[in-house]
């Protein structure tokens, strides 16, 4: 039992790190643009398929797919911003209409992946040597440890960027007070495009890590990651990147420990239940932080 619990904790941290990255990019997007990206899960799975395609066609190891994913998703996000968003801001209720639009994007992206890769579950047949390592009394796959290392580096880099650099501070300022930032003379359109691109890039990179950590993925797994992203974002407080980091890890731990104590099928119910409970009882998130509107 103790081994199981320990296993749950270690895997919870690793999986939670992935969830944290999904949540951080999603919450950044919401904070800056007031867009709830329903298609975020498809962005993530898109990254997984990119790694899959690069590995099976060019033999490129997943680690080398990371920069490719980052750059291509950044460019894609930048383009998508200018294609989709300016028109949306003119609508009566941009927030809910963006939700609906990204719903459409999510359906379309899943369909594209379905057309290219078909409905079967895929996994990248790549393994590190040694295949697994001993952490204390338990064995953890090397791929998971590597992925966790990358998660830590990325989360730290993102935090540093948001709190220590000028563009990062501008992003945070936009989250806190979108009106004031216009007055100060920041080019909000460019900043928003950058936020969209950055969030897409993080999602793409997270997708590569998903391919390393989780056994398989298919064109329809995106929806699950979107939902997990929503849970994490709401737990952490909408628009709060550090909250999302913490909430992601907590949720990963909760989910993995739930599989130790509860039947497998109950885990998603626990997740949905947490989401509903948090919104109904404490809509500002666990840290009591809410983006100003």
Partner 1 sequence: MPPESSGAGRSIERASADRIYYTLAAVIGGTVGIYFLVVPVLDLNIAFHFYLMLWITMASAFNVAAGFSGYMPFGFVAFYGVGAFTTAILVKSLGFPVLLALPFSGVAGVILGLLFAPTLRLSGIYFAIVSLALAGICRLVISNMPDHITGGSFGLQLGSRAEPVHSFYVMMAVMLLALGTILWLSRSRLGKALRAVRDDAEAADMMGVNVTRVRLYGWLIAAFFPAVCGGVEAWYTNVVDTETAFNTLTTAKTVIYAVAGGLGTVTGPIVGSVVMVWLDELIWRQFPLLNLLILGVATVMLVLFLPRGIVGTILRRRPEWRRYIP
Phi, psi of 217 (to 5 degrees): -150, 155
Residue 120 sits in the site that holds partner 1 (CB under 8 A): no
Site string for partner 1, 1-40 (x = CB under 8 A): -----------------------------------x----
Q: Which of 91, 121, 127, 165 binds partner 1 (CB under 8 A)?
A: 91
The Cα 133–Cα 143 span in angstroms is 10
Question: CB of residue 149 vs partner 1: minimum separation in angstroms?
Answer: 32
Of the candidates 252, 265, 253, 232, the one whose C-alpha atom is nearest the C-alpha of residue 5 is: 253
Classify 139 as helix, strand or coil.
Answer: strand
Q: Which is nearer to partner 1, 33 or 147 (CB)?
A: 33
Q: Does 84 bind partner 1 (CB under 8 A)?
A: yes
Window of 55-63, 71-79, 191-199, 227-235 that interacts with partner 1 by CB under 8 A: 227-235
Q: What is the enclosing helix (H) or strand (E) of 134?
A: strand 132-135
Considering the complex, state which of residue 2 and residue 93 has its C-beta at the smaller distance from partner 1.
93
Determine, following the binding rule CB under 8 A, whether residue 273 of this chain makes contact with partner 1. yes
Answer yes or no whether residue 56 interacts with partner 1 by CB under 8 A. Answer: no
User: Cα(48)–Cα(29) distance, rounded to whole angstroms?
Assistant: 21
Residue 95 as a binder of partner 1 (CB under 8 A): the answer is: yes
Distance CA 78, CA 60 (A): 25
Contacting residue, 6, 223, 260, 287, with partner 1 by CB under 8 A: 223
Report the C-alpha gap between 283 and 288 in whole angstroms. 8
| H helix runs in the chain, sequence order | 2-33, 40-58, 62-88, 94-117, 142-164, 166-176, 178-184, 188-213, 222-236, 241-261, 266-281
Query: Considering beta carbons, is residue 124 or 195 the nearer one to partner 1?
Result: 195
By CB under 8 A, the count of residues binding partner 1 is 42
- Taking CB under 8 A as the rule, does residue 105 contact partner 1? yes
- Does 166 sit near partner 1 (CB under 8 A)? no
Closest CB 95 distance from partner 1, rounded Å: 6
Tell whether residue 111 is a contact of partner 1 (CB under 8 A).
Answer: yes
* CB nearer to partner 1: pick between 100 and 131: 100
Q: Is 60 in the site for partner 1 (CB under 8 A)?
A: no
CA atoms within 13 A on the CB side of 6: 10
User: What is the smallest separation between the CB atom of 26 and partner 1, expressed in angstroms?
Assistant: 12
Asked if 29 and 199 count as a contact pair (C-beta separation under 8 A), the reply is: yes
- Which is closer to partner 1, CB of 17 or CB of 271? 271
Is 244 within 8 Å of 155 (Cβ atoms)?
no
CA 58 – CA 67 distance, rounded (Å): 15
Segment interacting with partner 1, rule: CB under 8 A, options 53-61, 90-98, 185-193, 249-257: 90-98
Residue 67 beta carbon to partner 1: minimum distance, rounded to whole angstroms = 29
CA pseudo-torsion sign 41, 44, 48, 50: positive
CA distances from 136 to 13, 140, 195 (A): 15, 10, 40
**d(Cα 13, Cα 75) in Å, to the nearest integer?**
30
Q: Do 26 and 244 contact (CB within 8 A), yes or no?
A: yes
Residue ranges that bind partner 1, judged by CB under 8 A: 36, 84, 87-88, 91-93, 95-101, 103-112, 114-115, 223, 227, 230-231, 234, 265-266, 268-269, 272-273, 275-276, 279-280, 283
């Amino acid at each position: 039992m103790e081994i199981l619990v320990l296993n749950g904790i270690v895997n919870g941290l690793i999986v939670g790190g992935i969830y944290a990255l999904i949540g951080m990019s999603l919450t950044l997007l919401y904070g800056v643009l007031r867009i709830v990206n329903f298609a975020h899960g498809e962005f993530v799975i898109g990254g997984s398929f990119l790694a899959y395609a690069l590995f099976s066609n060019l033999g490129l190891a997943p680690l080398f797919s990371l920069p490719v994913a980052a750059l291509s998703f950044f460019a894609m996000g930048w383009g998508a911003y200018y294609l989709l968003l300016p028109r949306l801001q003119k609508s009566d209720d941009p927030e809910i209409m963006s939700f609906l639009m990204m719903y459409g994007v999510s359906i379309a992206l899943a369909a594209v992946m379905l057309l290219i890769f078909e409905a079967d579950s895929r996994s990248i047949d790549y393994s590190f040597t040694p295949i697994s390592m001993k952490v204390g009394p338990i064995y953890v796959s090397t791929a998971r440890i590597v992925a966790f290392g990358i998660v830590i580096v990325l989360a730290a880099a993102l935090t540093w960027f948001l709190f220590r650099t000028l563009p990062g501070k501008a992003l945070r300022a936009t989250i806190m007070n979108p009106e004031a930032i216009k007055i100060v003379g920041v080019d909000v359109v460019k900043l928003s495009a950058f936020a969209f691109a950055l969030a897409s890039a993080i999602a793409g990179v997270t997708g590569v890590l998903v391919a390393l950590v989780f056994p398989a993925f298919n064109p329809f797994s995106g929806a699950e990651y979107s939902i997990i992203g929503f849970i994490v974002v709401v737990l952490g407080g909408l628009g709060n990147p550090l909250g999302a980091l913490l909430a992601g890890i907590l949720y990963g731990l909760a989910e993995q420990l739930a599989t130790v104590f509860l039947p497998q099928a109950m885990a998603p119910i626990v997740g949905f239940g947490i989401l509903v409970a948090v919104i109904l009882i404490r809509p500002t998130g666990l840290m009591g932080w809410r983006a100003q509107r």
